[in-house]
Structure formats: structure tokens, C-alpha cells
Structure 1
Amino acid sequence: MDDIAALTAVEAIKQLKARYFRTLDTKDWDGMREVFTEDVVVDTTGSGGAVVTGRGAFMEFVSTHLADILTVHHGHTPEITLTSPTTATGVWAMEDRVRYPDGRELIAAGHYHETYDKSDGTWRIKTSKLTRLFMDLSEPAAG
């Protein structure tokens, strides 16, 4: 793979992850569905979640669990390695804020460890594992 093709692929993967964060936070479930391969495996056990296999199953899981929860996710300092013209790995530092309907708020940080697959000219997330460095949960303000 030449340098321009490699840079183009890395940029496409960065755009993919940005789309993941935006569609997650805006609850654009149809848009979010498109960032994953059909056979995606997502591991959120590091955040108290589950390992979910398959795009449909993961979309059901995330849309049900986050329906009434306000989230803001930021991804930083991507480390993307192209392993072939159609596959790659990546690690993203992340921080998120989660506001629950009862007023509790979670501020947390960690990393996404991912693999990517390019099919029909489009990069998608094939596996994603979220690990956490910390999770701070605050109680609602007394009022």
C-alpha cells in the first residue's frame, strides 16, 4: 500500500470513529448501525456492560440501554495500524459523560481497542472493546 493510500485509509477510519461518537450521542441508531460490520463483536464488560455479537443484537442493546440517557463521548489520540489494504487495528483514548434521568452523572475515561474491516469500499468497526481507567459517579444535586 502506498503512502497516499495508507493516509487515505487512516483518515477514513478516523471519520468512521467520529461518526460512531456522533451517532451514539445523538441517538441516530440508523446511522450508527452503518459503522459496524454485520458480525461485529462489542465488549463493554469494562463498563459494567456485556459482550454482544452481531450488529442487530448490539444495536438493540445500545438503543435500549441508552434511550433515556444523555451521553457525550470524545475520542482522542488514535493509534491506527493498517494490517492489510482491507484491515486495521486501532486504540482510541476516550472520555465520556453520562447523565441519567434521575440526575446522577458519570464521568469516565479509558480506551477503545478496535479492529476494522473494509468491504465494498467502506471501512467499518469489526470488534470493539472498551476498557476504563476510571468511572466517577455523582449523586443528583440536593434540591
Structure 2
Amino acid sequence: MVDTQDALLTRVRDLESRLQRLEDVESIKDMHRRYIRKLADRDWDGMADFFTEDAVTDIRWHGRTEGKQHLVEHVFNDLHKTVTSADGYILSSPVIEIEPGGDTAYGEWTWHRHICEFRMSGGFMRVWGPWLEGRYRCTYRRVDGQWLFQNMWFRVVLPDVDPEEHEMEARLAGSHRHVIGGPADPRP
């Protein structure tokens, strides 16, 4: 009888562990989708609430930030002032691994942006159909029972690949000229 009770207790603990892992993965997916929804809606208020205080980001042309305050000052505030286009986003194909110990995780996602409006001199031009494909690579951490971004890396990978960080810096400094529609045009 003792063996049966021990086996049953072991099975219950295993099931509890598996259930917790599934709940954590779903919580991370939900958090990341809510972040993307705010981005798509251009709802910049509260975007930083998805990040830990010590978060590190490397998001395309925005460069590397360290800490939530730096992220707000150098990314979200800039986006709030400059981005008004009505683009659509699709976040898919999550691969999420909960690390041993259960309070950190790693995830990769595929992102698609369906561009509706292009910035032109004198305003915007509305075009239907263009798209971009990107990749998120994120580390998540549970803080006070809530999953948050601890680290976020994001780049566009198709149809043109974002340049490496040192190439971005040179292009932003104006040392290269780019043709709209050419490879890795840095203009938003």
C-alpha cells in the first residue's frame, strides 16, 4: 500500500508541475499579445508596465536600452511623438521554454506587420498589401506573480533583413543613402 501511495503522490506532483508549466506558458503568451495589441493601437501609455525595472531591449533602429526608464525615454516617448500610421500586426508561432526553477522563461515569436500607410514628403500615402516579417527573442521573468519582459531583442528578417547594430548606427548618422524600396531602408 505504501508503494501505491508514494506512486500516487509522485504522479500528483508531476501533474501539478506540468499544469503550472502550461499555465505559465499561457500567461506569457497572453502578456506578449497584450503588449502587441497596445503597440498596434498606438496606446503608448502603460507600455513600459510590460517590462521589469532592469529590462534590456534591442529593438531595431531604437538601439539598446538598459532599464525601464531608459526604454520609456528613448523608445516609447519617441514612438508616441512620431508614429501615427495605422498598421496591423500578427504575432504567431511562439516557442516558449520555462527555465528550471519556474520564474524565468525564454521565447521566440514570428511577427508580421501589414503596412497601410507610408510616410512621404508632405504626408502619408495609403497602400494595401506590403508586409514585413520579424522575430522577437525574449527572456521573461515572473515578478510578484506576473510575467514581464526581462530582455527583448527584435529585428525584421523578411523581405529585407535589418542590418547589424554597427551598420544601423552608420546609416542613422547619414553616411549612407538609401533608395525607398531598396535593401534595409532605415526610414520608418
- TM-score, normalized by the shorter chain, greater than 0.5: yes
Identity %, equivalent residues? 26
Cα distance in 2 for residues equivalent to 1:17 and 1:59: 18
Write the letter of the residue equivalent to 1:32: M
1:141: which partner in 2?
none
1:4-43 to 2 correspondences below 5 Å = 4-43=19-58
Write the letter of the residue equivalent to 2:32: K
Write the letter of the residue equivalent to 1:133: V
2:168: which partner in 1?
none
Cα distance in 2 for residues equivalent to 1:52 and 1:122: 22
Of structures 1 and 2, the larger Rg is shown by 2
Q: Deviations over 1:110-132 (max 9, x none)?
A: 21000000010100001010122
Q: How many residues align?
A: 136
SS at match of 1:16: helix
Q: Does 1:122 align with 2:146?
A: yes
1:92: which partner in 2?
109
Q: Does 1:54 align with 2:67?
A: yes
Cα distance in 2 for residues equivalent to 1:16 and 1:133: 23
- Using CA pairs under 8 Å that are at least 6 residues apart, name the structure with larger relative contact order, 1 or 2: 1
Write the letter of the residue equivalent to 2:51: F
Aligned-residue CA RMSD (Å): 2.2
1:64: which partner in 2?
78
Deviation at 1:24, TM superposition (A): 1.2
Contact map agreement 2:44 2:80 (CA 8 A) in 1 = no
Deviation at 1:134, TM superposition (A): 2.0
Contact map agreement 2:108 2:135 (CA 8 A) in 1 = yes
70-79 or 111-120, which moves further after superposition? 70-79
Cα distance in 2 for residues equivalent to 1:58 and 1:107: 26
Give 1 or 2: higher helix fraction.
2
Cα distance in 1 for residues equivalent to 2:80 and 2:89: 13
Cα distance in 1 for residues equivalent to 2:26 and 2:145: 14
1:74: which partner in 2?
90
Cα distance in 1 for residues equivalent to 2:20 and 2:111: 27
TM-score (norm 1): 0.82
Cα distance in 1 for residues equivalent to 2:35 and 2:76: 12
Deviation at 1:66, TM superposition (A): 4.8
Give 1 or 2: higher strand fraction.
1
Contact map agreement 1:69 1:101 (CA 8 A) in 2 = no
